[in-house]
Structure 1
Amino acid sequence: MSRRSKRRGKRETIDHRDRWMITYADLITLLLIFFVIMYAMSNLDSGKYDVVTQSLQNTFNASDSILELGEGLGEKPGQTITETPPSDVQGEDPSKGEGNPPDSGTATPDDDNKPLTEREEQFRSQEQELQNLFNVITQYIEDNKLENQIFVADKPQGLSITLSDRFLFDQGQAALKDGAAPTLSKLASLFRDLNTVVSIEGHTDNVPVGANSAYTDNWQLSGERALSVLRFFLDTEKLNPDGFQYAGYADTRPTGDNTTAAGRQKNRRVEITVLRQLQP
């Protein structure tokens, strides 16, 4: 009798612990019934929907839009009114079929007559200024036989003027040679009225400075050389310092092979870049 009582007590305990599932199932069923009733009671008023749709459509048709020079929307939603008639009226080129797309690479009369934005005007003015500067410097180099000392190139960042260290400095020094003054003065006269920033960068080869050098390393030497050119523009030519910046890069940006004498000579340079302030 004692064993039967124990087994019966265990089964009763298990049944008591699982009774919450019945309540949970009832709750889920009631929630389902509730949402079914709510869905059945909902009803879309198609009449009101049509009124709202027609009102919005009329509003957009009657209003002006900032698109297409403020001409607004046409008689049908999505149709834009333009000042020029469509291409399928009289005067259309018969060689162009209905399914042929226009040639996107060919300028149209509308493109020629379209006024330029203020930014486009500034960009064109900047490019014309750089082109004129390029032509003047190139002519100066040819007239003075400086092709082996000064190099000019149009790069993405701006107009780059590269001066060899032999033209500007004595070996291992940062003081300007007297012979460099006429060329730097010519450049200063061209920079005086520029509306952009001029960057001056000093570069060296990878040969360390000598033990008796006045400079700690190539970083200091390259920076002092760039600073010497900058001070000539500011102190001697009295240019506005707001239009300049300078830096020294030592041997970190070589343009030649540092394992050869010609390459090292090419790397010892000062680059003066008239920066582009605007991009197309």
Structure 2
Amino acid sequence: VVGDRFVFDSEVLFNPGSADLAPEGQVQIARVVDTLKKVVNQIPPGINWILRVDGHTDNIPLSGLGQFADNWTLSQARALSVVKFMQYSLGFPPERLAAAGFGEYQPVASGDTPSARAQNRRIELKLTER
């Protein structure tokens, strides 16, 4: 947990260049969803909330020869993969989910180092009002 959101390193959830949730990633997301289900039961009925799943990449351009043309596409596909897993495998209500991909354009770490790039490759889950 970082501030008001759950943050996962992409390496924990996905294999490099892939948007398919790895088995360990499924375990990590399932743990958070268990917690979230308890939290959302405490939200008053009048509050119209969603869980935003945001995908982020580092600033290394993709070759364009693989499955994903660029970091925009990869970040969106990863966010959508998490959303679909939450809906279809964990029973999270789809009307409460939103997926967004930000590519490399919302970094949390500055610099062009392996450490900064690793911090920027992430998935964030955040409860917010619609």
Could you say which TM-score interval applies, normalised by the shorter chain?
A: 0.7 to 0.9
Residues 109 and 116, structure 2, Cα contact 8 Å, conserved in 1: yes
Residues 63 and 69, structure 2, Cα contact 8 Å, conserved in 1: no
Residues 160 and 273, structure 1, Cα contact 8 Å, conserved in 2: yes
Partner in structure 2 of residue 172 of structure 1? 17
Mapped partners of 2:9, 2:27: distance in 1: 15
**1:160 and 2:9 matched:** no
Equivalent residue in structure 2 for 1:221, among 74, 77, 86: 74
Normalized per residue, which structure has more strand?
Answer: 2
Aligned pairs for 1:97-136 within 5 A: none
Deviation at 1:173, TM superposition (A): 1.0
Stretches of structure 1 that go unaligned for 5 or more consecutive residues are 1-151
Mapped partners of 2:102, 2:109: distance in 1: 15
Equivalent residue in structure 2 for 1:235, among 84, 88, 107: 88
TM normalised by structure 2 equals: 0.86
- Residue correspondences, number: 122
Aligned amino acid, residue 183 of structure 1: Q
Normalized per residue, which structure has more helix?
Answer: 1
Mapped partners of 2:34, 2:76: distance in 1: 24
SS at 1:212 equivalent: coil
SS at 2:2 equivalent: strand
TM normalised by structure 1 equals: 0.42
Structure of higher RCO (CA pairs closer than 8 Å, 6+ residues apart): 2
Partner in structure 1 of residue 57 of structure 2? 204
Mapped partners of 2:22, 2:67: distance in 1: 17
Residues 58 and 103, structure 2, Cα contact 8 Å, conserved in 1: yes
Distance 1:224 1:273, change over 3 A: same
Which runs of at least 4 in structure 1 moved beyond 2 Å after TM superposition? Answer: 190-193
Aligned amino acid, residue 153 of structure 1: V
What fraction of aligned residue pairs are identical, expressed as a percent?
A: 27
> Pairwise CA RMSD of aligned residues?
1.7
SS at 1:209 equivalent: coil
Aligned amino acid, residue 165 of structure 1: S
